Structure 1
Amino acid sequence: MSDIITLADDPDLAHLVDLIDILPRPEASRFWDEKGQGDHSIGAKIGHDLKQILGGQGRPRDVDYFAVHVLKYLGRGNVYISEEKITQNLRGVHGLPAAGRAWVEDATRTAWRLVTRYSLARWRGVTSTPGSAWMATR
């Protein structure tokens, strides 16, 4: 089994990349880098992981980081790129509020599935059996 994950390997990953593709392109600094952070911008953080994945070198950690960055910076209730800003900048939907809301909800759900798929064992502890903490309690 390969540690490399491609879009063909994970339909949720492919879907999240499709969602990112209808946001402004990476060079749209007013969307991705509003505070002039350059290499530390939201676009740079998302782009770093995404380039690994799209370049055929994405590992579970890259997918996890990509999904975490989507949750943190574009997901529901984030404080970085608001739902309104996403709505205004979605390509092809012309500022339709329902489309922006749906994009945020879909991206949040999809990113969360990826994070739990690729991080859950690490969060729980690699030596832990699922649910084992509950079996040890009275």
Structure 2
Amino acid sequence: MRCALFVQVKPVVRPRPCLPYNIWRIDNRLRLAATPPELRHPVSEYFRRNFSITTSGHFCTPSLLAAIALLGDDRVMFSVDYPFEDMAQAAIWFDGLDLPDGQWRSIAHDNAVVLLGLRDLLPAIPAGRGAASGLSSR
């Protein structure tokens, strides 16, 4: 008897400022290829459905907004890249973003809880900005 093992992979990638542009380019290059791959959907659709990204080490508001536009706010998570980046600087940047509170909370906390299956392990964070990081008041 054969036994198939299926592992559910949840890729998380660190963003690069060129990511939104490269997703379009990959779709376009494959569309124009002499022998395009036989895919049900464009590569961008697979990326949007199967990948999440973090802000890890990239505290640039235009890059974050591009990532949200590309993937949706349910696929973007706040991250610092400690010890290479300063946690307080990251928290101050993130706490000051001009995002609706629900979107901010999703990126700060809720998306990671869902992606990593931590709903039953972590207490809910209090409402309000800065609650997720605890660093902006230092």
The answer, yes or no, to whether TM exceeds 0.5 is no
Larger Rg: 1 or 2? 2
Would you tell me which structure has more helix in proportion to its own residues?
A: 1
Q: TM-score, normalised by structure 2?
A: 0.30
Q: TM-score, normalised by structure 1?
A: 0.30
